[in-house]
Chains A and B, each alone.
Chain A
Amino acid sequence: MNLLENIRLALEGLRANKMRALLTMLGIIIGIASVMAISTLGSAMTGSVSKTMDKIGGKNISVSLTPKNYDSQATLQPEDYITQDELNSFKETYADQIRAISLSSSLGSGKLNSGYVHKDVSVTGANPDYRLVNNINLVQGRFISDRDIQSSRNVIIIDTTLRNNLVGVNGDPTGMDITVKTKNTNETYTIIGVYEKVVIDNPLFNMGDDTRIECFIPITTAMSLNSASTSIPGYDNFTIMASANADTTAFAQITKQYFIKNMGALSDYTIEAQSMEAMVSEATSMLSTLSLGISVIAGISLLVGGIGVMNIMLVSVTERTKEIGIRKALGARNSAIRSQFIIEAIIICLIGGIIGVGLGSVLGVLGSSLLKFPSTPPVGPMIIALCFSMGIGVFFGYYPANKAAKLNPIDALRYE
């Protein structure tokens, strides 16, 4: 008794009862569709997370001074700050783990005036490592150098939007002087480079106001301009880029322990070091909680669907008792009858699975485009879903099929 004939027989049987077959499939359809939708959404999210990680640096660890107690009116004391010397010796101690340390100090927002161009910008003081750690994509000129830092030069790196405003898309603004007013003082800077802004379109990583134009100046220049920070001997935050083979989560812990030693016991502040990976896993754990919830619903739905299939197969066996008797009289072996009914159950489930996969993929793509994740339904879960639905057919079809196979031929033939 070959497979193809069994499939043909099963399809014949289903065609005779289309509505009933469809209703039976409903549980399977809902179950498979929700699994498929969540895995489409999930793969879209993880895909965009890993893309974002590439952009913002998956090896980064951000370190900052944070109040021990958020309720208290704690203020940073001069001795709390991490000094350049401390950073240097830290970097030496863990030279094999650290690739770069990025330092920054915001000068806040400012106004740019240059001829006819008036723009709101934000000015950030940065060190040379800032470029590597924050993945600054320089398209013209150069970034801040050690010498710029040493002599607190008035140099500035602008972004492509500003360049387009100043000298046009094809122009070269390097060497040009611009005046930026921050903290109520006008400063003139020489443009030394142009960078292209990286657009991160991932709702899991809200990077704040994306329309702001950010310009970079040497951190030393920024600190001396920042009147409030004249007396500040160091940094309250920095970002480490760990070397490629480092375990960032473990190294974040090491970093925290290293700097916490140097903190005065009486300080209101402590050190927090968090790896980007840990932050990402925090974000994705939300997703896995969600998918767990949906998986439970899907599981229940598949169970109910499977029981529905079993029920309808039992009805079908009873309805076709006489037919089974005839087939046995014509020489059908028990195994032939059994496989006929199992294959029928498998086909019900498989068709349900195919509809479910289609429906779930559409829902998943719609859902993820609603959340602004680019997505395509993943092939792996599709195949697993189809195999799983066939498995349900085998599991829930076996009992009715076996019941049919074991019917006594005479009793079956006599059945009215």
Chain B
Amino acid sequence: MRKKIIEMRGIVKSYYLGTPNELEILHGIDLDVYEGEFLSIVGPSGSGKSTLMNILGALDRPTQGHFFLDQLPMENVKDEGLSKIRNEKIGFVFQTFNLIPRSSALNNVALPMLYGGKSRSVRTKRAKELLELVDMTARSHHRPNELSGGQKQRVAIARAMANDPAIILADEPTGALDTHTGRMVMDIFHRLHQEQGKTIILITHNTELALETERTIRLKDGSIVENKINEKIQLEGSYESA
């Protein structure tokens, strides 16, 4: 029996737009994710995927329901505690990369370790290793505006890995990339999943990419409408040989 890393029960998220007309986005989500799983979340635009991911990533709190992250009940955690959880247990990869524009690739990767209180030498060493892992060593001193989209996303993945998190949350990481670079990014995720046993939750609009993952959740209008185990498909991608 694998360890449950995420357990969600009856998660509701509402927004208050003025007092009377409350806007409920998520209507009671139940979700379990096991350690080492590669999960994809699909669904039409506006269905609440990003909203769900913000809750999964401890960026936001649900309006109702229970959420256990690594067995820890999140409703008891204070804001400072959420910061610590984001820093230690979560690695975010965003569609628009979200790198710090004034910092070099190396400093961007080192940033979560800085907030984690690691020493400068440890940060630099680890950041270099991670840039090596995503094949970005040559660009480690470049700033984000000197990098292509695919390169930025590789730096962002390296940054997500900085504190060796339990879960990587990727919200449409290939959404801003062409098929080829998107493929490259997906290969990196597969490698992290297979070689390092990372739990990865991937939000995507691309059904083909979703099929590459072990399990797909389909959201519609704020509810889970499908939870499907994908057959193992043989990828002709380069990640196995890399």
**Interface of A with B (CB < 8 Å)?**
1, 5, 12-13, 16, 322-323, 325-334, 336, 409-410, 413
Contacts and interface: CB of A to CB of B under 8 A. Distances in A.
Nearest to B165: A331
Interface stretch (B82-90, B134-142, B191-199): B82-90
Grouping DSSP codes into helix (H, G, I), strand (E, B) and loop, the A interface class, with mixed when no group exceeds half, is helix
Interface in B180-237: none
B223 to A, nearest CB: 21
A256 B116 CA distance: 78
Given A5-B114, A331-B112, A410 B79 contact: no
Given A410-B54, A410-B60, A331 B102 contact: no
Interface string B107-145: 000011011110010000000000000000000000000
B115 A336 contact: yes
A380 to B, nearest CB: 36
B116 A331 contact: yes
Given A12-B102, A12-B103, A331 B57 contact: no
Contacts of B63: none
Given A329-B57, A330-B111, A332-B87, 8 more contacts: A322-B98, A323-B101, A325-B98, A326-B100, A331-B84, A331-B85, A333-B80, A413-B94
B59 interface: yes
A38 B100 CA distance: 44
Contacts of B88: 331
Contacts of B116: 331
B92 interface: yes
Chain B contact residues (Cβ within 8 angstroms of A): what range?
A: 20 to 34
B152 interface: no
A325 to B, nearest CB: 8
B59 A334 contact: no
Contacts of B59: 328-329, 409-410, 413
B49 interface: no
A332 B99 CA distance: 14
8 contacts: A1-B115, A326-B99, A329-B57, A331-B83, A331-B86, A334-B83, A410-B54, A410-B60
Given A329-B86, A333-B83, A16 B102 contact: yes
